[in-house]
Amino acid sequence: MTLSTLRVAIVGAGPAGIYAGNLLAQAVKTLRQAQGTDSIDAVEIDLFESLPAPYGLIRYGVAPDHPRIKGIVTSLHEMLDAPQPGSLGLPKDRRTIRFIGNVEVGRDIALDELRERYHGVILATGALRDAVLDIPGVDLPGSYGAADFVAWYDGHPDVPRTWPLDASSVAVIGNGNVALDVARVLAKHAVDLRTTEVPDNVLAGLESSAVTDVHVFGRRGPADIKFTPIELRELGEVRDVDIVLYDEDFDGVDPTTASNNQLKVMLRTLNSWRGQGSTGASRRLHLHFWHAPIEITGDGRVEGIRFARTAPDAAGAPVPTGEVREYDVQAVYRAVGYFGTRVDGADFDERRGVVPNDEGRVLGQTGLYATGWIKRGPVGLIGHTKSDALETIGHLVADAQAGVLTAPSAPGFRSGSQGDVLDLLDERETAYTTWDGWQALDAHERALGENHEHVRERVKVVARDEQVQISRPGVLAR
């Protein structure tokens, strides 16, 4: 078959969406080179993002003291900045993926309106909310979702500019990388974050923090941790913070019998910390295992947290032993996972927090696809996101070649037109941003960093309207 131009919209400009766009462009280019005219002649990809800036959780979900993330950002930047290869049938001055930011599907444009303008739409909206922890007291003041705290310290434009850090003793519930990020940021001295891209309002908040003790609790044992070795090792590198472990949690734990090499490395790291005595550090980070939360306690606000002590059953699953332990804390951070957000116009599985799909094809809706966490749930790392996108793109291209995708039918649509969606957004006075606008914002943030009293790579601009003004001078955000 011959399809003159395959037009695809991707909703979400995090790694999942960017990888999907890049893989789609590569797939079409490969097809055209291999099959000539008996293939897809060209591809147009529009990447929609609800925030003014791209990169999703890489910009707004990763702790600012992770230098290795810079490499991921560089890779994503190159994908979005790549010029259109002539072999894809479009002008060379058009980028492979057109970024359209500050546009929320369901608010500024309906999903059905996108489907009228594209052969296919890929949902890559991720999982932005905290998973529910259903225990008494979870709604007490002083009980926080980790996702909200992460959004605050990463300068997300849609969260408050201040955060209460008046608790001296804090509990973090969870045994994954997000729990470690939250614990590390809480325990770390603000002065050691001054050279990162942490926003100034966050730095000021952390400088006034009252935290002295951070307790991280997992319901399973050390042999079942979900950290990565790098994340764990970083804990031991935090200045003026003692790592505290408890020997009873390691009964029967043998690093030599670990199920994989990564776990062996982490268990060795934990064991090396067990032998370290107190250095007299001003802050302590406690790692507790075999603790299942059963209640957050307090009269009007968080004053403590109660756990059931657990132990492995015959199958290795944690079960209560009958012992209950209580800890005096003034704040609780719940890092028990993320949960997907419904996309208006698409079916949603309220139990799993995903769009129901079969290997990326959204069930019952031809031409609608999903990739990333909204497809499979909030599990896996960047490598999983790439393979995930490859599967989804494979099905989209196959559907295009099979002729099952519906041609764009929006009123006024002109085959090959570059501006019909932007025309619609202009009519609605939507303050959308572009790739050129992001480059202006990126340069502005880097200049702020260079001129800061503590020289940094960048200082993030937090306010949405300010981001839009820098990206598109004279246009007001809504």
CATH number reported for the structural domain that contains residue 346 in this entry: 3.40.50.720
**Which pLDDT does position 425 carry in this prediction?**
94
**Which pLDDT does position 40 carry in this prediction?**
77
**Which pLDDT does position 1 carry in this prediction?**
42
Residue 387: count of CB within 10 angstroms of its CB: 10
385 within some domain: yes
Least confident of 61-65, 85-89, 419-423: 85-89
Q: DSSP characters for 27-38?
A: HHHHHHHHHTTS
**Which pLDDT does position 86 carry in this prediction?**
45
Average pLDDT, the chain: 89
Domain final position from 338, 356, 374: 338
**pLDDT band at 430, cuts 50/70/90?**
very high
178 vs 335: CA distance, rounded Å: 6
CA angle 444–163–194, rounded 5-degree value? 45
Q: Label the pairing between strands 368-370 and 169-173.
A: unpaired
Tell whether the model's pLDDT for residue 90 goes beyond 70: no
Residues 122 and 137 in one domain: no
Residues 320 and 199 in one domain: yes
Residues 172 and 189 in one domain: yes
Q: Are 291 and 249 in contact (CB under 8 A)?
A: no
**pLDDT band at 408, cuts 50/70/90?**
confident
Q: How many CA atoms lie within 13 A of 89 on its CB side?
A: 25
255 vs 261: CA distance, rounded Å: 10
Residues 326 and 177 in one domain: yes
- Distances in Å between the Cα of 141 and the Cα atoms of 210, 304, 398 are 17, 12, 51
17 within some domain: yes
Residues 54 and 201 in one domain: no
195 within some domain: yes
Least confident of 31-35, 217-221, 252-256: 31-35
**Which pLDDT does position 71 carry in this prediction?**
74
CATH number reported for the structural domain that contains residue 224 in this entry: 3.50.50.60
Report the 3 state secondary structure along 82-135. Answer: CECCHHHCCCCCCECEEEEECCCECCCECHHHHHHHCCEEEECCCCCEECCCCC
Residues 201 and 260 in one domain: yes
381 within some domain: yes
Residues 229 and 316 in one domain: yes
**Which pLDDT does position 207 carry in this prediction?**
95
Tell whether the model's pLDDT for residue 415 goes beyond 70: no
Give the domain extent around 207. 131-338
Residues 182 and 49 in one domain: no
**pLDDT band at 187, cuts 50/70/90?**
very high
Residues 104 and 184 in one domain: no
Domain final position from 318, 338, 358: 338
Residues 277 and 142 in one domain: yes
pTM here is 0.91
45 vs 23: CA distance, rounded Å: 11
476 within some domain: no
pLDDT (tens digit per residue) in 244-287: 999 999 988 888 877 889 999 999 999 999 988 889 999 999 99
Q: Exposed/middle/buried for 163, CB within 10 Å: 0-12, 13-18, 19+?
A: middle
Residues 217 and 142 in one domain: yes
**Which pLDDT does position 13 carry in this prediction?**
95
Token code pair at residue 202: 């966050």
pLDDT (tens digit per residue) in 120-146: 999 999 988 899 999 999 999 999 999
**Mean pLDDT for the stretch of residues 163-190:** 96
Tell whether the model's pLDDT for residue 202 goes beyond 80: yes
Residues 93 and 165 in one domain: no
Report the number of distinct structural domains present in the chain.
Answer: 2
pLDDT (tens digit per residue) in 351-404: 999 999 999 999 999 999 999 999 998 887 676 788 899 999 999 999 999 999
